A and B are shown apart, each in its own frame.
Chain A
Amino acid sequence: MDWAVVTANAPLLIKGLITSLKLAAVAIALSFPLGCLVAIGRLSHRAWLSKLCGGFVNVLRSNPLILILFWFYFLMPILIGKSINDLTSILCAFVIFFGAYFAEIIRSGIQSVGHRQIQAGLSSGLSYRQTMQHIVLPQAIRAMLPALTTQCILVLQGTTVAYVVGYDELLHTTAMIAERTGRPTEMYLAVALIYFLICYGGSLVSRKFEKGQGQ
């Protein structure tokens, strides 16, 4: 083992890590609101909207992320007849894929708040929207914090899928260094440690939220 290869390439690894974190952050920032909309749509009394959102969730969750990335990377340019830049296709795939997962978490969170709370809100003269905003969602978000944190970890791990289209996130950067230096063992161990530290840290946060819920 020669760990010098890791320290020598530390700046590149950090750059890759930052790219991965940014990718995850943007993906979460866009897929979470999408998930909120889809969840609310799914709970709507309008049957067509509920079915449409349900269909969206089921189709997306029944496909591997890598395939969805292929749709946007290979198929979409053919369908619309012009090229899409790499980052755009990656983000589109991530946002709709993780949007579907967020939608499910948010839906179950909203449903965990009893309908009697909704009745209490409505009976006090609040509109449905106000009842959602002030009474249901704050409670729902509390209930779903552990699952949301876990999902954010999964998004970060999911960013490695961008590897397949040659995007310079952490895993791709690591692979390039490994190949160039002929030191795959050290490099892949080092990158595993980085992912472990971040994701395990995240899971501790998630557990803390879970514990805080009993009160």
Chain B
Amino acid sequence: MTQPIIDIKQVSLAFDKFKALDGVSLSVNKGQCIVICGPSGSGKSSLLRCINGLEPFQSGDIWVDGVGVRGCKNLPALRLSVGMVFQHFELYPHMTVLENLTLAPIKAKGMNPSEAKKLAMHYLDRVGISNQADKFPARLSGGQQQRAAIARSLTLEPKAMLFDEPTSALDPELIAEVLQVMRDLAKDGMTMLVVTHEMGFAREVADEIVFMDHGQIIEQAPVTTFFGAPRTERAKDFLQKILSKI
């Protein structure tokens, strides 16, 4: 069996006395799309931040494509292999969209600027906003901004992508265009770990659903099993609440 792209083993993370993560284990294989859901404060976002070393955790370890995160000597190199997309996009407001995309390839990867620009335009085209390349982020709609942020991560040509509630800050009518981009990515075989409450997306795209609560993985199951017959009361409860909204 090939090794997972992301391999999380017994990770615990505490802020003072509050346990954000409590012995979480999870593997994501190449080409898999796993959706993490759960109530807010359950540790979903913290888990994503642990994977690329943004949040130093106290015990356990995580391997990204075989490289251990804990005690990693070269975090920037490790981070190049996992793209991250944020709830609030986090585009750099003082740079054009194109500059947003080329900054890390040029500075972190040492790519030459014209090559980086070509690559950036390729990915902007892929998310359907190549005509916005020379605008500043503030001039774009929320959906376009998030697509630009996804393209920014893709420009690093990562082995896996982490999505941290990518549509939660968007107006309802803009969510679809972002989900479409993510759907296409998953179809093209990108390895994805997605924190989201978009159950429609999860049902259609995810290979597995992970349900988290109080810093633990309560349930992990293939999509059909999870939606058809959640094993735990808490997952049932959560699903009911979230699906009744639609």
- The reply to whether B86 and A124 contact each other, CB–CB distance below 8 Å, is no
* B72-117 contacts to A (CB < 8 Å): 75-77, 79-80, 82-84, 86, 88, 90, 92-94, 103-104, 107-109
- Per-residue interface assignment for chain A, residues 130 to 147, with 1 indicating a CB less than 8 Å from any chain B CB and 0 otherwise: 100011001100100000
A117: which B residues are within 8 A, CB to CB? Answer: 90, 92
Is A185 part of the binding interface, using a Cβ–Cβ cutoff of 8 Å?
no
Among B80, B103, B138, B152, the one with the most A-chain Cβ atoms within 10 Å of its Cβ is: B103
> Quick one: CB contact mask for A155-171 with B, threshold 8 Å, 1 for yes?
00000000000000000
B162 → A minimal CB distance (Å): 8
CB <8 Å contact, B86 and A120 = yes
Across the interface, B77 reaches (CB within 8 A) one of A116, A119, A125, A215, namely A125
Contact A124 B103 (CB under 8 A): yes
Residues of B within 8 Å of A197, CB to CB, are none
Report if B52 contacts A (CB, 8 A).
yes
User: Which residues in B have their C-beta under 8 angstroms from that of A127?
Assistant: 76, 108
> Which residues of B125-175 are within 8 A (CB) of A?
138, 152-153, 156
For chain B, residues 47 to 85, give those with C-beta under 8 angstroms from any C-beta of chain A.
49, 52, 54, 75-77, 79-80, 82-84
Question: With A and B bound together, what is the CA distance between A123 and B153 in angstroms?
Answer: 9
Complex-state Cα separation, A124 to B109, whole angstroms: 10
A139 contacts across to B, CB distance below 8 A: 92-94
Query: Do the beta carbons of A125 and B86 come within 8 Å of each other?
Result: no
Q: Which residues of B contact A134 (CB under 8 A)?
A: 92, 103, 107
Q: Which of A119, A125, A138, A215 contacts B90 (CB 8 A)?
A: A119
Interface centre among B79, B109, B138, by most chain A C-beta atoms within 10 angstroms, is B79
B90 touches A126 (CB 8 A): no
Give chain B nearest CB distance to A5 CB in angstroms: 51
Q: Which of A3-34 contact B (CB under 8 A)?
A: none
Cα–Cα distance between A142 and B103 once the two chains are bound (Å): 19
Report chain A residues within 8 Å CB of B90: 116-117, 119-120
The one of B49, B88, B93, B109 in contact with A125, judged by C-beta atoms closer than 8 angstroms, is B109
Q: Which residues of A contact B77 (CB under 8 A)?
A: 125
B83 — which chain A residues lie within 8 A by C-beta? Answer: 123-124
**A122 CB–B CB distance under 8 Å:** yes
Contact of A126 with B92 in the complex, beta carbons under 8 Å = no
* Contact, CB under 8 Å: B108 / A124: yes
**Cβ proximity bits B181-220 to A, threshold 8 Å, 1 near / 0 not:** 0000000000000000000000000000000000000000
Q: Which residues in B have their C-beta under 8 angstroms from that of A116?
A: 86, 88, 90
Q: Do A122 and B79 touch across chains, with their CB atoms under 8 A apart?
A: yes
Complex: A108 Cα to B156 Cα, angstroms: 32
Closest beta carbon of chain A to B30's beta carbon, Å: 21
Q: State whether A119 touches B79 (Cβ < 8 A).
A: no
B156: chain A residues at CB < 8 Å are: 124-125
Q: Is there contact, CB below 8 Å, between B93 and A124?
A: no
**A140 → chain B, closest Cβ, in Å?**
10
CB distance from A182 to the nearest CB of B (A): 57
User: In the assembly, what is the distance between CA of A127 and CA of B152, in Å?
Assistant: 17
How far, in angstroms, from A121 to B84 measured CA to CA in the complex? 10
Bound complex: CA of A124 vs CA of B120, how far in Å?
14
A130 contact set on B, CB distance < 8 A:
107-108
Contact A119 B54 (CB under 8 A): yes
CB-CB under 8 A from B80, the residues of chain A are 124-125
A125→B76 contact, CB < 8 A: yes
Interface-central residue, B52, B83, B107, B153, by most chain A CB under 10 Å: B107
A127 — nearest CB in chain B belongs to which residue? B76
Give CA–CA (A122, B86) in the complex, Å: 13
Taking CB atoms, residues of chain B closer than 8 Å to A119 are 49, 54, 86, 90
A-B contact pairs, 17 of them (CB 8 A): A117-B92, A119-B49, A119-B54, A120-B84, A120-B86, A120-B90, A122-B54, A122-B79, A123-B79, A123-B82, A123-B84, A124-B83, A124-B104, A125-B79, A126-B103, A130-B107, A139-B93
Chain B interface residues toward A at CB < 8 A: 49, 52, 54, 75-77, 79-80, 82-84, 86, 88, 90, 92-94, 103-104, 107-109, 138, 152-153, 156
Closest 3 CB pairs of A and B: A120-B90, A125-B108, A125-B80
* Interface residue ranges, A against B (CB under 8 Å): 116-117, 119-127, 130, 134-135, 138-139, 142, 215
